[in-house]
Amino acid sequence: MNKKILVTGGGGFIGGHLVNFYQKKSFKVYSVDLKKKNQWFQINPKVKNIVADCRDPVVCDKITKKMDYVFNLACDMGGMGFIENNKALCMLSAVININLLKSSKKNNIKKFFYSSSACVYPSFRQRDYTKPKLKESDAYPADPEDGYGWEKLFNERMCRHFYEDFGLEVRVARFHNIYGEYGSYVGGREKAPAALARKFVEGISKNKKNIEIWSDGKQIRSFLYIDDCIKAVDMLFKSNFRNPLNIGSDKHVSINELVGILEKISNKKFIRMYDLTKPQGVMSRSSDNTLIKKVLKWSPKVKLEDGMKKIFYHIKKEIEK
């Protein structure tokens, strides 16, 4: 347990939870993020917290030195409203992973984790509401989300080739809409669960009658609670499986159904106002968990209703502060 773990993007949502998970398991954890510390979602005082820019190769050489394992969760990303309007910023995150792979090779890192996304899947496979589940082999022929999806797919290939050419052990997870406490819920980078929970909290406190829903609310998605995500990441990292692997829920709902869940949690119904000018994203996306069940014997434990209750009351508490 004296192994050293570097988590880049440690000031972010998933990264912060991962830092806490491994710190509790008595690893020596080093958390790195570009943001000033007062902008981190979580800061664990029991780990080494470093403000640094991984777009600088010299920085990557320095922070990976004497580490055993590297978890790269650093990237510019957010919900659909962000990634559709910031394609260049999203693609520039490729520099981070390239630098970290090169530095990991140089500094003899034992194992490297890369956080990819369901946005790598082709748009033509996400138009049928009756068949939303995406299996890993569906990523090709490639037609990922413009900008963010291409960056993720490219870096999946980089990880693969660093193993094939240099022997660097890599693990790649394709995250499907991870949600939970200590993430963005305002500012434009928040995803649907947090955004809708915030709208309910604000609507109730301000006695509003209406709630805004992006597009027509018929979009199909699956959402995975953060605790289930972290458990799956740890299992994948310890496994011998090197190919990209879905980490998500195979239980999908429409955005309208997600609103319905929040209505039950909050005991409040609003008039739904649909803004068709806002980004919809793909029509239908969910995780096919056949492979991860076979490889890791893993499946989600937290029901969507229970996870949404947690995030609703967390955001309510944050807003009241």
Which sequence positions are flagged as catalytic?
Answer: 148
Element (H, E) at 249: none
Alpha helices in 174-225 (DSSP H): 192-205
97 neighbors 203 (Cβ within 8 angstroms): no
Half-sphere exposure (Cβ direction) of 252: Cα atoms closer than 13 Å: 20
Burial of residue 286 (CB within 10 Å: 0-12, 13-18, 19+) is: buried
Q: Strand 178-179 relative to strand 133-134: parallel, antiparallel, unpaired?
A: unpaired
Alpha carbon 212 to chain centroid distance?
24
How many other C-beta atoms can be found within 10 angstroms of the C-beta atom of residue 299? 12
The Cα 319–Cα 202 span in angstroms is 8
The Cα 279–Cα 255 span in angstroms is 13
Residue 242 has which token pair? 């090197």
The Cα 220–Cα 218 span in angstroms is 6
Is 32 strand, coil or helix?
A: strand
